[in-house]
Amino acid sequence: MVVADPSLSRDLQDASDTPDLLHSLNEKDSSVLSLAASDDYIFSGSQNQDISVWCKSSFRLKHTLRGHTGSVLCLEYAKDKDWLFSSSGDSTVRIWSVQTLSLLYVLEPYLDTGAGDLFSLAYAQHNQTLYIGCQNTSLQWFDFRQLPSPIFNSDRSSASSSNVSKHGRSNSSSSSAQVTTSVPGSGTSTPNPTAAARKVHKFFDSYPQYERKPADIFANNTPLPSQLSSASDDGCVRSLDALLPTPLGYLSIPGGNVIDSAHYGYVYCMALLEGPEPEKRVQLITGSGDETVKLWTIETSGVSNPVPQLTHTFTFAHGAVLSLIARGDTIFAGCQDGYVKVLDVETRACVRTIIVQEGIDVLSVSMIGSDLYTCSANGRIQRWSASFDCTASWQAHGGIILSSIITRASPHGNDNEPLLGLKGVTKAQSVHGWRLVTGGNDSHIKVWEVVLPKERGAQDPTLLDVRSKSVNETMTYALSKFIAIPSVSSVPSHREDCRQAAIWLRKCLGQLGAQASLLPTGEGTNPIVLGTFSGTSKGSQPKPRILFYGHYDVISAPTKGWDSDPFKLTGRNGYLYGRGATDDKGPIIAVACAAADLLARRALAVDLVFLIEGEEECGSAGFGATVRKHKKDIGRADAILLSNSTWIAEDTPCITHGLRGVVHCSIQISSNLPDLHSGVEGGGVSEPMLDMVRLLATLTGDDKRVQIPGFYDNVRPLSEDERQLYTRLAAITQRPAASLASRWREPSLTIHNIQISGPRSKASIFHTLRSRPAT
């Protein structure tokens, strides 16, 4: 049994091209769940509820942002406001000033803790709106244009009293934002304001069940800020009340800013896709545990509180969507089990599937130019080119990689100052570039030096061209893997190879952009591969639907007659040799790659359905019954295309638009005697075999004309126009016109086999024979 590598991506790794590790940061025995970066800082959100602030230029810990009571699941930097958003398992979003590293607001979702963990954030600058993906499957948002801007003084602890009101709470479900504030330093004092501001959490603030008491903030299983303490440098223990920040205000998402059941699973990841006119419209992308990516359109001009409108749903079968990134009109979705889906926004099609490593979840994806970096649960990072080839792969962490970002190096600092931890390297040599920052459950943050693809000799990094690898390159590479599987359907020992060929082809079609599956044909027979490439819709007219038929099984290769391994694709003198290269693996891959190329160029104007069986070389067992059973899944067919015929010349392709068809019949001759021994009875009895041979010999004459009466009665006479066409074709093919006409337009008769009544014995006279001529 041969199991081929399912990935169509070539391994083009160069050890010298692996990114250099610039620095490693330690997160104090806590998983790094989220990352963000500003011009000066790297922010890391951890499982221990804190946000560490690292200086980009020195890689030293600058500050720690505290206040969350749950793991920090997502960080989002708003450059226009110089704000940092953090979402947590405590069902809150906190808004921090990046300039002062102080807490500005606490944003609570609609239904408070009922929203569950807040897994994902996306901030749209053009409408100053933050979008939140929730554990309760809802999509929520808050418009900060309705919020007064805080004004800080030099001690970072007071705000303009004209812009805020005294502390209060509101749970209004109206469509306008609710703002309640607490003003430090304004003369208003409240006992323990941090504790009073905290809402009851139905889980963390619950009592033991036997006490039968409702949850409240005084439950003993959750320490209040006033109960926390910290040892200072002088050894004294002080209350952390003074260390935990008090926000300027508490914000509540109104009920009108919620889409309930936006997905049928947790909303794990989000991204924004801003088109050519983002001031008018942006698109929000959400990924979920329900194996879908959804595309939402948001009007950003002339609408005070635009509601995201669902415009398309991409549905997969590769587990939860765990990570997202968007560039141009292309979305990259990292999924469970090691798949990355490449989605085209304009055509609403999946144009490619990258198999990173089967069975290993892709938890984070980042991008610079046309280079995609995938971070997986096995601690490995892989870099993929615009042609989806793996150009680098390395072990980055000792555990699961949970988060990643790409950011510019710090523009500040003394260029001649040595860089901490890098001997002989100055900031001038380090800061003018890009950094890939990754965080894992090994308590480490790694900073890698990455460069634009253009600087490594690749194409323009601003362009994402899914066709940058030529169709011929993709086709030849895929065919080499397909040929390597000895899917000989007539040999029982190759039955598992046939199944593996079907599995490989399903994955191949999926990677090229089709929705693919396997259809079982019954016990002991090979499955059918069903794959559909969905074309681009133009207008309201339904797209033509073309059914392509082929077969992935092959006949066995004789030991003689091959100058190379029949199950290794070999090129010689302009030809490709390998079992199945012509019949029928080569045509299958050629048509699939052509469909993928058209799909990537948004030029596939039809729905192309692949129906590929694995029993054609031994009678197509189970094919008809399976097609009838799954007729609804296959769908209608306006035309059927197959590539199992020949060209009219070596370098002149042709399209066969008609076939003569096949009619099977059988002739049986028998006597009333049992089978006899030729050494005893030979010459003394009439032998049915000889009678069968005489009869079959009379079916055709010396001129190869069929002698059966009426055989040619329904054949249309050759017209003058057809005669001229055959004359032209004869000049192209260097074959007689009469020979071409006999092959293409006239009926023929072929004797396929003669079957005997008993075991094959050289000494037997068989008295029952069956012959199978075919017309």
Q: State the catalytic residues.
A: 553, 616
Calculate the dihedral angle through the C-alpha atoms of 620, 621, 627, 629, rounding to the nearest 10 degrees. 180
CA 330 to chain centre: 12
- CB-based contacts of 418, cutoff 8 Å, min separation 6: 424, 425, 426
658 vs 235, 566, 650, 744, 745, CA distance in Å? 93, 32, 21, 9, 9
Please enumerate, as own/partner, the contacts of 484-487 that have beta carbons within 8 Å and a separation of 24 or more.
484/2, 484/4, 484/567, 484/568, 484/569, 485/2, 485/3, 485/4, 485/567, 486/2, 486/554, 486/567, 486/579, 487/526, 487/552, 487/553, 487/554, 487/580, 487/614
Q: At 639, list the tokens.
A: 């035309």
Residue 600: strand, helix, or coil:
helix
Strands in 20-26's sheet, in edge-to-edge order, are 20-26, 444-450, 434-440, 401-408
Please check whether residue 614 is in contact with residue 621, taking contact to mean a CB–CB distance below 8 angstroms: no
Query: What span, in angstroms and rounded, lies between the C-alpha atoms of 3 and 763?
Result: 45
584 cis-preceded (ω within 30 degrees of 0): yes
Give just the sign of the alpha carbon dihedral 160, 67, 174, 272.
Answer: positive
**Token representation of residue 393:** 């792969």
Amino acid at 264: Y
Long-range pairs for 97-103: beta carbons < 8 A, 24 or more residues apart = 97/152, 98/38, 98/40, 98/41, 100/152, 100/156, 101/53, 101/62, 101/63, 101/65, 102/152, 102/156, 102/157, 102/245, 103/65, 103/67, 103/245, 103/246, 103/247, 103/248
Strand partners, 86: 75, 94
Rounded to 10°, the helix 720-733/737-744 angle is 110
> Are the CB atoms for 629 and 542 separated by under 8 Å?
no
Residue identified by tokens 């030096």 is 449
